[in-house]
Amino acid sequence: MNKDFIGESLDRVDGRLKVTGAAKYSGEYKPAGLTYGVLVPATITSGILNAIDTKAALRASGVIAVITPFNAPKVPGYQPDAPRPMKGLKLFNDNKIHFNGQPVALVIADTFERATHAASLIKCKYERQSFATNFHENMETNSKPAGEQHKEYVRGEANAYKSAPFIVEESYTLPSEMHNPMELHVTTAIWDGDDKVTLYTKSQGVISSQRAIATAFNLEQKNVQINSHFVGGAFGSSLRTWPHEIAAVQAARMVKRPVRVTLTREQMFLLVGYRPLTVQKIGIGATADGKLVGITHESFSQTATYEDFTERSVNVSRFLYASPNANTRYKIVPLNVGVPAPMRGPGEATGAYALESALDELSYKLNIDPIELRLKNYADVNPETNLPWSSKYLKECYQQGAARIGWDKRAQKPGTNRDGEWLVGYGMGGGAFGAYRGKTQARIILSADGTVVIKSATSDIGPGTATAMVVIAADRLGLSADKITFELGNSALPVAPTQGGSSTVSSVGSAVNDVCVALKQKLYNLSGKPENSTDPIDYTNVLQQHNLPSLELTTESDVNPDAKKYAMYSFSAHFVQVYVHPVTGVVKIKKVVAVVDGGKIINMKTASSQMIGGAVGGIGMAMTEEAVIDDRYGKYINSNFADYHVPVNADIPQIEAIFIDKPDPVLNPLGTKGIGEISLIGVAPAVANAVYNATGRRIREMPITPDKILKG
């Protein structure tokens, strides 16, 4: 076959399995003797668990055991003398309470319902201690995180923006956004003797999960088997091994039977991370013609008292625009809450919200079109490192996005564009995210019937990883896609990185590319023809001629050594049209255009889905999502899907995804970069900027709700 598959729109290879229910997720495996674990939450926010009464629970029907800090077998990796002591919350290792809802016990029973009932019978005695959950009242307790990467950054002169004739100095607030994919976090643990364990768990990286469980229980890594064949969404919540996963393994060892621990929806708000509440202070100054003089970006971000979480919220201000002076500071504020986690576009999405909002404010002070202002400060090389970009087509993103949204209909003066009783506004926001590639192995097996199986221990949290790999293999081998299968989600497969940071196609795709090229070379050698021959060969005939039932190869793909000579990023520009009702404050998002410089696009169909999904997440950030704590008790009051608002179908308009689709010549042999993060980065400020353009009212605290618009 001579058809080029890359860039076409192949249906998801696992789509039928998912829509028919044949795809098995981590909570659907039922080993013999399966038991069920339910976590019991603390009802105080800080203090000591002095005693726990488990008698009634143990007498309840079907209950097998109750694990508490007072009877739990020690987890080796939790101990201070461990070779590599584990960080974070160590369930049942001590009796200290760090946040409301922290698990204090695990009830194990023969059914989930019986375990749930028994958990309600647990009684605890606490010594209450003072706590802090109000971010704004505790901002002064901030500290600079440890590590060279978090030191204050200065290019040129610090706070140089203050000397500019036109200045914007504002604060921008993002509330906590909670990780709540459709699939709950579920872990099933099965021991084989005392030194081997198998887990079915929701993981973005089966190899990293394998390593974490081996470290926790002092096992050889090869004796830990992680299975995560299908993942019902994660967005970053499964980038690490959480304490409830270790508790499931601990419980299974204790009761000598398989144990499944399923988090409730409310526990999902507490135990698997979230985008942290962040207050950002931006100072930005420019000359009258729009040239930037300086940018100062300071971020204060929520973390836990027991573990520091950091992200790169200020970094985007160092390189996105060609400002001669820039300085950034990053601080964290410890509170009695669960620890945050990376969430789609981590750091960069938060930072771009502040930077792109401030830049929009500056455009009005200068009376310059927001796109023109960005073009006046376009960075032709990375200002932070002085390295050339491996590729950058952000100007094309601006041009195409403006044309498709109808930017020429935008009124420069806010509040003057109407359609009937509705105010009409247009806004845009840009984004950037690092383009990465990691060392990856892939194995290929060509069978005598002409079918191909490729294996690599990556994960798929929804973008269509297997589909992209089949497209690459079909293109490189010249086979039809229905002859190719890609296996993933299994730690016994060849090593692959965790799915995160928009790097899977770059990393795993490169390995698939390389192993396919190696297989073709081997087949040409066996056929006696040169690999660059224009004569096609019949793969099955070659195997038959050499009496081979199959041919198997494993290769490893690594980072391009020339990559360090370049700044490698994906870029995006998001454009939004909104209608705002001046009497009610209701905002309707009418259209979103997302334009991406993400290198060569492997599969247009799944890539477009990625962009649409990211835009939906950005709309949630701008319009609906906000976790609310009652600071009297330190407890979330909207930890459910009725009160925590995510965008629904009625909130989502037409979303158009456009790809520049030009290959990056440096990052990998496919020319891809990555789109998972930049699909969201820049959407929230585009919405906020459009609302201002419609109303003349600048909302600097997300989400944008009618009361904030009416208050002005």
- Beta-bridge mates of residue 553: 444
d(CA 218, CA 78): 10
% pLDDT > 70, the chain: 99
Structure tokens at 231: 């993942």
Q: Would the pLDDT of 3 be above 70?
A: no
Residue with tokens 């790809």: 659
* Sign of the CA dihedral with 6 first, then 7, 8, and 11 last: positive
Cβ-based neighbour number of residue 118 at 10 Å: 26
Q: How far is CA 151 from the centre of its chain?
A: 24
Residue 113 known to be catalytic: no
pLDDT, average across residues 324-351:
98
Residue closest to 557 by CA, chosen among 500, 496, 599, 600: 496
pLDDT, average across residues 488-504:
97
Per-residue exposure over 498-508, b if at least 16 CB sit within 10 Å of its own CB, e if not: bbbbbbbbbbb
pLDDT, average across residues 345-361:
98
Instruction: Calculate ∠ Cα 640-92-216, nearest 5°.
Output: 100
Task: Give the model confidence (pLDDT) of 155-190 as tens digits.
Answer: 999 999 999 999 999 999 999 999 989 999 999 999
Q: What's 363's DSSP letter? A: H
| Ramachandran angles phi, psi of 464, nearest 5° | 95, 45
Give me the CATH topology for the region 438-558: Aldehyde Oxidoreductase; domain 4 (3.30.365)
pLDDT, average across residues 350-364:
98
Does 149-176+275-435+565-711 match 438-558 in CATH topology?
yes
Contact 625, 644 (CB under 8 A): yes
Q: Which residues contact 67 (CB under 8 A, 6 or more apart)?
A: 92, 105, 106, 108, 247, 250, 251, 254
Helix ranges (DSSP H) in 632-671: none
d(CA 604, CA 476): 17
Task: Give the model confidence (pLDDT) of 26-48 as tens digits.
Answer: 999 999 999 999 999 999 999 99
Task: Give the model confidence (pLDDT) of 270-326 as tens digits.
Answer: 999 999 999 999 999 999 999 999 999 999 999 999 999 999 999 999 999 999 999
Indicate whether this model's pTM tops 0.85: yes
* Sign of the CA dihedral with 387 first, then 388, 389, and 394 last: positive
Amino acid 1: pLDDT: 42
In which element (H, E) is residue 384 found? none
d(CA 509, CA 673): 11
What CATH number should be reported for the domain whose range is 33-44+46-129+180-271? 3.30.365.10
Contact 451, 485 (CB under 8 A): yes
Q: Would the pLDDT of 2 be above 60?
A: no
d(CA 429, CA 687): 8
Amino acid 712: pLDDT: 66
Amino acid 4: pLDDT: 79
d(CA 701, CA 704): 7
Residue with tokens 């080796």: 76
| Ramachandran angles phi, psi of 136, nearest 5° | -65, -35
Q: Which residues contact 193 (CB under 8 A, 6 or more apart)?
A: none
Collapse the DSSP code of 270 into the 3-class scheme (helix H, G, I; strand E, B; otherwise coil) and give the result.
Answer: helix
- pLDDT confidence tier of residue 127, bands split at 50, 70 and 90: very high
Task: Give the model confidence (pLDDT) of 377-427 as tens digits.
Answer: 999 999 999 999 999 999 999 999 999 999 999 999 999 999 999 999 999
Task: Give the model confidence (pLDDT) of 427-447 as tens digits.
Answer: 999 999 999 999 999 999 999
d(CA 592, CA 423): 17
For the chain, what are the domain ranges?
33-44+46-129+180-271, 149-176+275-435+565-711, 438-558
Range of weakest confidence among 364-368, 528-532, 565-569, 574-578: 528-532
Structure tokens at 61: 């029907």
% pLDDT > 90, the chain: 97
d(CA 608, CA 657): 6
Residue with tokens 């140089």: 160
Question: Would you call the peptide bond into 703 cis, given omega within 30 degrees of 0 as the criterion?
Answer: yes
pLDDT averaged over every residue in the chain: 97
Task: Give the model confidence (pLDDT) of 499-535 as tens digits.
Answer: 999 999 999 999 999 999 999 999 999 999 887 777 8
Task: Give the model confidence (pLDDT) of 55-111 as tens digits.
Answer: 999 999 999 999 999 999 999 999 999 999 999 999 999 999 999 999 999 999 999
- Beta-bridge mates of residue 281: 171, 298
Contact 343, 312 (CB under 8 A): no
| Ramachandran angles phi, psi of 380, nearest 5° | -80, -20
What secondary structure, in 3-state letters, does 665-709 show? Answer: CCCCCCCECCCCCCCCCCHHHHHHHHHHHHHCCCCCECCCCHHHH
Residue closest to 155 by CA, chosen among 321, 288, 389: 321
Task: Give the model confidence (pLDDT) of 222-266 as tens digits.
Answer: 999 999 999 999 999 999 999 999 999 999 999 999 999 999 999
- Beta-bridge mates of residue 107: 38, 66
Structure tokens at 91: 């369930």
Task: Give the model confidence (pLDDT) of 629-649 as tens digits.
Answer: 999 999 999 999 999 999 999
What secondary structure, in 3-state letters, does 402-459 show? Answer: HHHHCHHHCCCCCCCCEECCEEEEEEEEEEEEECCCCCEEEEEEEECCCCEEEECCCC
What secondary structure, in 3-state letters, does 178-222 show? Answer: ECCCCCCCEEEEEEECCCEEEEEECCCCHHHHHHHHHHHCCCCHH
Q: Which residues contact 225 (CB under 8 A, 6 or more apart)?
A: 196, 197, 198, 199, 210, 490, 491, 492
Q: Which of 113, 356, 677, 701 is catalytic?
A: 677
Q: Crossing angle for the helix pair 243-255 and 206-216, nearest 10 degrees?
A: 60
Give me the CATH topology for the region 149-176+275-435+565-711: Aldehyde Oxidoreductase; domain 4 (3.30.365)
d(CA 675, CA 429): 16
Residue closest to 347 by CA, chosen among 332, 362, 327, 326: 332
Contact 42, 100 (CB under 8 A): yes
- Beta-bridge mates of residue 259: 35, 189
